[in-house]
Chains A and B, each alone.
Chain A
Amino acid sequence: MGKFRKNRKSENQTISTSSLPDIVFMLLFFFMVTTVMRETTINVKQDLPTATEVKKLEKKSLVSYIYVGALNTGYKKTISNEWKSRFMSEINEPAFVQINDKICENPFSNNPSETSDIQAYMELERTTGAPTYRDEKEIPFMTTSLKCDKNVNMKLVYLIKKELRKSDAFKINYSTKKDD
């Protein structure tokens, strides 16, 4: 009967944790690879409207963003009276157009010979050389994502759309929150 005596040295064996760092590193690399650090600090309010019929924007490298909204509290900027009277948003704060990190000084051109900030941005996004090195074939598939606050006046949106049409950026996407 003593044949099957167990040959245990100790009763409570510890679980080896030497592979734990490997597991954690694996997770770490996953998150490191998937993380996209936000390059721009958004200085305008971004309370997006909701919609049900939304589509996902697929290729992020083909998307250029234009942010529109009232200034964030704490962000100081002198506002010209002309701008104020033209683009008062609903909440009685003038809305602004932000491209990359900057609030645009003259987003719209008044005459055809003048290049507006939006036009300059679209042109920069479409250059095949530095700094974007875009493929010629990609250009028709490029999308402009309009990230507008829901209180923005439509007049401003129309003006932005007109600038986009001037620079042949026809594909746009009204950024919204998904509502089920």
Chain B
Amino acid sequence: MGKTNRKIPEINAGSMADIAFLLLIFFLVTTTIDTDSGIARKLPPLPEDELEEPPKIKPQNLLIIIANKNEEITYKKRYLRTDGTCCDEDLDSRPPENIKVNPKELKEISKKFITNNGKDPTMSVSPIKAIISLEAEYCSYETYISAQNSLAAAYKEIRNEESIKLYSKKYERLDKEKQVVIKKSYPQKISEADIN
């Protein structure tokens, strides 16, 4: 009986790399490391009682921004009465005027409005009371986002300035508790009108 001492043939693994490369290229091509990013906002809850009257806000504490259907961003001009109080209309009772601004100007205006602290009687009394109202019913989404972006930028800069003053650090780099402190003194109050 002749012993057949046959060796088990080895599988050639040379082409393994090719197969793996092929798969690798497939996954490389299909991978989309897309991180979704955007402007975060919180919606207000629906009013429980329709008849309930909204709280009265003094005109100087309210900055009304209107984006119209011509894709222009405007803000409502405030006037001074002779007794030093703020009102919507001019003394000569001209119709209320809307001043056109570009996104950069909008940021500056809102910064000035928020950090006014009662210096200018036509602007906010304090950052806590300052409310920005954004009316953008008829414009395109792009204009609306550019307005929202300007407002977000304004708040970010204000918070950064305050944070550098208090803790000599940028706002994003602060720990949570300190961020809350600054957030409390500079709350982001952006209101949007309801439509039916």
Q: Which positions in A face B, CB cutoff 8 Å?
A: 17-18, 20-21, 24-25, 27-28, 31-32, 34-38, 49-57, 60, 63, 89-90, 143, 145-146, 148-155, 157-158, 161-162, 164-166, 168-176, 178
Closest to B24 in A: A28
In the complex, how many angstroms separate the beta carbon of A169 from the nearest chain B beta carbon? 8
Q: Is A49's CB under 8 angstroms from B146's CB? A: yes
In the complex, how many angstroms separate the beta carbon of B131 from the nearest chain A beta carbon? 18
Q: Inside 8 A of A143's CB, which chain B residues have their CB?
A: 40
CA–CA, A89 and B144, complex, Å = 14
Known: A35-B30, A53-B39, A154-B141. 19 other contacts (CB 8 A): A21-B20, A28-B20, A31-B28, A34-B33, A51-B152, A55-B39, A55-B40, A56-B36, A148-B141, A149-B141, A150-B140, A153-B141, A154-B67, A154-B138, A154-B139, A170-B43, A170-B45, A171-B40, A176-B38
CA–CA, A153 and B195, complex, Å = 14
B interface majority secondary structure = mixed
CA–CA, A152 and B143, complex, Å = 10
B27 proximal to A (CB < 8 A):
yes
Closest to B194 in A: A162
Q: Is B141's CB under 8 angstroms from A170's CB? A: no
B99 proximal to A (CB < 8 A):
no
CA–CA, A167 and B41, complex, Å = 16
CA–CA, A170 and B46, complex, Å = 10
Q: Inside 8 A of A152's CB, which chain B residues have their CB?
A: 140-141
Q: Is A56's CB under 8 angstroms from B35's CB? A: yes
A-B contact pairs, 18 of them (CB 8 A): A21-B17, A28-B20, A31-B31, A35-B30, A49-B145, A53-B39, A54-B39, A55-B37, A56-B37, A57-B38, A63-B36, A145-B36, A151-B140, A152-B141, A165-B44, A173-B41, A174-B41, A174-B148
Q: With A21-B20, A151-B142 in contact, do A176 and B43 touch (Cβ < 8 Å)?
A: no
Interface size bracket, B side: 35 or more
Q: With A28-B23, A173-B39 in contact, do A21 and B145 touch (Cβ < 8 Å)?
A: no
Q: Is B16's CB under 8 angstroms from A51's CB? A: no
Q: With A35-B27, A152-B141 in contact, do A51 and B41 touch (Cβ < 8 Å)?
A: no
Q: With A35-B30, A49-B141, A168-B45 in contact, do A175 and B36 touch (Cβ < 8 Å)?
A: yes
CA–CA, A162 and B43, complex, Å = 9
Q: With A51-B145, A152-B140, A166-B46 in contact, do A25 and B39 touch (Cβ < 8 Å)?
A: no
Q: Which of A35, A53, A168 has the most CB of B within 10 A?
A: A53
B13 proximal to A (CB < 8 A):
yes
B132 proximal to A (CB < 8 A):
no
In the complex, how many angstroms separate the beta carbon of B107 from the nearest chain A beta carbon? 10
B88 proximal to A (CB < 8 A):
no
Q: Is A175's CB under 8 angstroms from B20's CB? A: no
Q: Inside 8 A of A24's CB, which chain B residues have their CB?
A: 17, 20-21, 24
- Give the contacting residue for A55; candidates B16, B38, B140, B194; CB below 8 A: B38
Q: Inside 8 A of A56's CB, which chain B residues have their CB?
A: 35-37
Q: Which of B138, B139, B141 has the most CB of A within 10 A?
A: B141
Top 10 nearest A-B pairs (CB, nearest first) are A150-B142, A31-B27, A53-B152, A24-B20, A175-B38, A51-B149, A49-B145, A21-B16, A54-B37, A152-B141
CA–CA, A6 and B136, complex, Å = 84
Q: Inside 8 A of A49's CB, which chain B residues have their CB?
A: 141-142, 145-146
